[in-house]
A = this chain, B = another copy of it.
Amino acid sequence: MARTQGSHSDITGPRIRQAALRLFARHGYAAVSMRQIAGEVGVQAGALYNYTPDKQSLLFRLMQQHMQDLLAAYNDLETQPDALGALRQFVGFHIRFHLERPDEVFIAYMELRNLSPENFTEIEALRRSYEDSLENVLREGQQEGLFSIADTKIATLAVIAMLNGVMTWYRSGGRLSLDEVELIYWDMVRKAVTS
Contact = CB atoms under 8 A, between A and B. Distances in A.
Interface of A: 26-28, 30-31, 110, 113-114, 150-151, 154-155, 157-162, 164-165, 168-169, 176, 181, 183-185, 187-189, 191-195
B157 A165 contact: yes
Main secondary structure of the interface of A (DSSP, over half): helix
A182 to B, nearest CB: 11
21 contacts: A26-B113, A27-B113, A28-B28, A30-B30, A110-B110, A150-B187, A151-B176, A154-B176, A154-B181, A154-B185, A157-B169, A158-B165, A161-B161, A161-B162, A161-B165, A161-B168, A162-B162, A162-B165, A188-B192, A191-B192, A191-B195
Which of A188, A194, A195 counts the most B-chain CB atoms under 10 A from its CB? A188
Pairs A-B, 6 closest by C-beta atoms: A161-B165, A30-B30, A30-B31, A192-B192, A162-B162, A188-B192
A161 B159 CA distance: 9
Contact of A157 (B168, B189, B192): B168
Given A164-B161, A168-B161, A191-B194, A184 B154 contact: yes
Given A26-B113, A28-B30, A162-B165, 10 more contacts: A28-B114, A151-B176, A154-B176, A154-B184, A157-B169, A159-B162, A161-B162, A188-B193, A191-B191, A192-B192
